[in-house]
Structure 1
Amino acid sequence: MDQVKTSIENGVLTVTVPKVEVKKPDVKPIQITGKPTLSTNFEEVTWAKLKSAICAIFLKQPDSCDLEKLYQAVSDLCIYKMAGNLYQRIEMECEAHISTALQSLVGQSPYLVVFLSLVERCWQDLCDQILMIQGISLYLDRTYVKQTANVRSLWDMGLQLFH
């Protein structure tokens, strides 16, 4: 192996470096053997996680699954063409919880001012809950809902259910 050589002539430093041969890496193309396959119960397992989170949101309880994983679950369902079914399931789950919340207001107080404050509290809770669900389901709202006629955004769907 050659060494680095230095010399000084007339006050000029000269450095001689041996040539190094660089080998090109041998890159082989990636071979794709087919589309990735989903487990047969992918939709059900993923929906169970999302349903649990939606219930926790409406019941004001913590959920074990973090928001990023829930967002990814919604994205995965949409990417694998399960968005329509997901939207219907979210709508049915929201309808059940909102209906329960509205039913709980019946007969709460004979005093109008007290009753209206209860309705306002219910409304504020609903807004917070729908915003949280919309945040998790943003991919659904931005893809499926925008591309499908006569389908309301999750926010509008929540407002309609409260109405």
Structure 2
Amino acid sequence: MTDAKDTSAKPAGKPSRPRTGVARSASRLGAVQALYQMDIGGSELADVLADYGSGRIGVQFDDGQCGEADYGFLKAIVEGVVRDQLLIDKKVNECLGEGWTLARLEATSRAILRAGGFELLFRDDVPPKVTISEYVEVAKAFFSGSEPGFVNASLDAMARKRHPEEM
């Protein structure tokens, strides 16, 4: 196992920056945590973003750090979900199984589907299959049961409606 601080493979004089994929994965996890915090704790958007921006709240999985987050990407997801939540909730509800609504789901599942829904609806720079895969991995960080499959099915249904040519 390689030490995360090992710089021997880096060219001299080059600053260390997080890899984009890892940073975006960490951002998605952080965005879900922030949305959960806002939903359950009633925290304000500005306060949550200030906590994540200051580094006081770490973005991590239960078994340790997942990498340094791209704060700009995390902020874009959280702000986008808050700004467009009514539309996102409507589109997510249309993709849930009969009798299911976001209101019936546990708060973490709601946060995951809202963040994934935001990316599918508003982030054309991210391929839908990447978005789905990333949020299934986020779901796996929180759940060991059927929830990751539920997230996969729900986001896949949304992607097929929004991006049928890419699915």
Output the TM-score relative to the length of structure 2: 0.31
Q: Which structure carries more helix by proportion?
A: 2
| TM-score, structure 1 as length reference | 0.32
Of structures 1 and 2, the larger Rg is shown by: 1
